[in-house]
Structure 1
Amino acid sequence: MQVPMKTKFFIFGVCLMAVLWRDTFDPESVRCARVLVTGASTGIGEQVAYHYAKMGAQIVITARREYALQKVAANCTSLGAQKALYVTGDMSQASDPERVVKMAVELLGGLDILVLNHIGSTPFAMWNGDGDHVRELMQLNFLSYVNMASAALPVLEQSAGSMIVVSSLLGKITTPFVGPYAATKFAVNGFFGSMQHELAMQRSNVSLTVTTLGLIDTDSAMDKIRGYTNMTAYPASDAALHLIKAGATHQKESFYPGYIYFVCLCRDWFPFFRDIIIQNSYTY
């Protein structure tokens, strides 16, 4: 019996996706790895630190609140981290990103993995015309990433290391109530996407992964969207494990949950209906 051509293409597509998305991650690949995780006092960053700890990595975590970092570092030690240290840092200060990287390198004797995850606080509301807030958030969510990447790259070159940049679906598709935040994530995607090309052209041995996350059930995210939308939120622990795997397997770009890859793929196909769906997904 002759198999229709459409069926052949469908089967080929399914097989291709199965190959591309197969799980090849080996936890042993990050055992003893020297890791710096930013924004690690809570949320996704905290969960990233815990996963690395369970895998036997050496970890330095950073955020602003020392008491929260102390608690997370203690938990990492109990979970099996070979080292669990912390450095306080305020990424709104221009000098802190480079200082934190240098201190982490000194504490660990080098660096194998840099996870850029921190974000600044911003209201979930229509933009009120506050340009200063946009500027401050750009420093926190974007410029500090650039500064940390600049400080870490020479060290990562020495170790053939990896950089994992945590981005958002809101850096791919615009929605209401997130103008300043979305602007920073579009900037992150643009800058680090360009850096990926440049590293490849220079034949660098540094792996750079940009991970695009959907709505994650962190306390801060849930507090902000409550009453505005009923969109499904996904577990922070699963998101954290996803980005660790993506970095360890040297993926250039990854998506969690997986369906948002297709959302991004179809973003510009039907813009009128896309915008209607987005606007009707929120209450104002």
Structure 2
Amino acid sequence: MGLCLKLSAVVGISAALFALYMSGPTFSVESLKGARILVTGASTGIGEQIAYHLAKTGAQIVITARRGNVLEQVVEKCLALGAQKAMYIPADMSVASDPEKVVRFAVEQLGGLDYLILNHIGPSPFAFWDGDVEHTRWLMQVNFLSYVQMAWKAIPTLEGSKGSIIVVSSMLGRMCSPFVGPYSATKFALNGFFGTMQHELAMKKSNVTVSICTLGLIDTDSAMEKVRGYTNMTAYPASDAALQIIKAGVTRQSEIFYPWFTYYLLNVKDWFPYLSDTVIRGFYSYEAQT
């Protein structure tokens, strides 16, 4: 197949799918009033912004992260913004018992769950991989296995409420890139596992849906601190990303992409791998790592 024909096919298929995506169910803010929602990784960044968006709708929120003192401040702001309820529970997702403890706390405090938003990540260096298998194993527990634990624990109560699991993933779970080996591995694992869960829940005619949110570079403090000096890629607003994540769960979409053109970049990667790999490497500075 010639290059022009390939490109035409990619553009045509992408345009059709995007039109279908845009014609999907509409987002209703009112539907979130009183909704019972657990948000992880909510002390800063995208998770914090998700909590504030939900608070403005009058939702009932439980948030979690490692630092209780920071979570307390987020809860206070959520209540000021209009949340019906806002509570927090500190947790360390590298501790095997904590993920299920958090779900149990949320269900007990809220009387059930309507949405489970899985957003937390552990810190990982932005560097060439140095062979640290233990860190990779630790990060897999935090970024992947804890998601699986929480989803499985929450499914029974979500079945009763026709609820949704929203999984925050990344382009780096679909497209390999330098300096992020352990992190990328955890995101690939998320996409594989929860993509499979989507099929299995549908085959069981479950009331629960799974939305996978594929994000590009977002302007959180932690992300910007890592990539500064290493790449000239544009970062996009955490508040906008948070709103798209919420919309994905409310409208029960199987997958969303933010920013929107992320979808097309992934298609280009699949159709033109050599060109894409060359372009990807061009976005990063090798000298910054030496």
TM range, normalised to the smaller chain?
A: over 0.9
One of 133, 153, 169 as aligned partner of 1:131: 133
- Structure 2 CA distance for aligned equivalents of residues 134 and 158 of structure 1: 36
Q: How has the CA–CA distance of structure 1 residues 33 and 230 changed in structure 2, closer, same or farther, with 3 Å as cutoff?
A: same
User: Where in structure 2 are the equivalents of 1:41-190 lying within 5 Å?
Assistant: 41-190=43-192
- Structure 1 CA distance for aligned equivalents of residues 242 and 181 of structure 2: 25
- Structure 1 CA distance for aligned equivalents of residues 17 and 99 of structure 2: 40
- Structure 1 CA distance for aligned equivalents of residues 146 and 248 of structure 2: 22
One of 23, 36, 39 as aligned partner of 1:37: 39
Alignment correspondent of 2:249? 247
State the shift of 1:18 in Å: 3.6
CA shift digits 1:209-244 (9 cap, x unpaired): 000000000000000000000100000000000010
Q: Which amino acid aligns with 2:95?
A: Q
State the shift of 1:25 in Å: 0.4
- Structure 1 CA distance for aligned equivalents of residues 16 and 132 of structure 2: 49
State the shift of 1:248 in Å: 0.4
Which runs of no fewer than 5 residues in structure 1 stay unpaired? 1-6
Q: Which amino acid aligns with 1:221?
A: A
- Structure 2 CA distance for aligned equivalents of residues 184 and 200 of structure 1: 24
Q: What TM-score do the two structures reach when normalised by structure 2? A: 0.92
> Does the residue aligned with 1:115 lie in a helix, a strand or coil?
strand
State the shift of 1:20 in Å: 2.3
Aligned residues: 276
State the shift of 1:13 in Å: 7.5
State the shift of 1:132 in Å: 0.3
Q: How has the CA–CA distance of structure 1 residues 126 and 197 changed in structure 2, closer, same or farther, with 3 Å as cutoff?
A: same
Aligned-residue CA RMSD (Å): 1.6
State the shift of 1:273 in Å: 1.1
> Does the residue aligned with 1:268 lie in a helix, a strand or coil?
helix
Q: Does 1:21 align with 2:27?
A: no
Q: Which amino acid aligns with 2:163?
A: G
- Structure 1 CA distance for aligned equivalents of residues 158 and 93 of structure 2: 21
Alignment correspondent of 2:205? 203
CA shift digits 1:150-170 (9 cap, x unpaired): 110011001111110000000
- Structure 1 CA distance for aligned equivalents of residues 130 and 72 of structure 2: 37
- Structure 2 CA distance for aligned equivalents of residues 153 and 267 of structure 1: 34
> Does the residue aligned with 1:266 lie in a helix, a strand or coil?
helix
State the shift of 1:266 in Å: 2.0
Which runs of no fewer than 5 residues in structure 2 stay unpaired? 1-7
> Percent identity, aligned pairs only?
63
Runs of 4+ in 1 over 4 A off after TM superposition: 10-16
Alignment correspondent of 1:3? none
> Does the residue aligned with 2:269 lie in a helix, a strand or coil?
coil
> Does the residue aligned with 1:267 lie in a helix, a strand or coil?
helix
- Structure 2 CA distance for aligned equivalents of residues 252 and 29 of structure 1: 19
Alignment correspondent of 1:4? none
CA contact (8 A) 2:170 2:216 kept: yes
Q: What TM-score do the two structures reach when normalised by structure 1? A: 0.94
User: Where in structure 2 are the equivalents of 1:192-231 lying within 5 Å?
Assistant: 192-231=194-233
Q: Which amino acid aligns with 1:20?
A: Y
CA contact (8 A) 2:14 2:264 kept: no
CA shift digits 1:170-189 (9 cap, x unpaired): 00000000000000000000
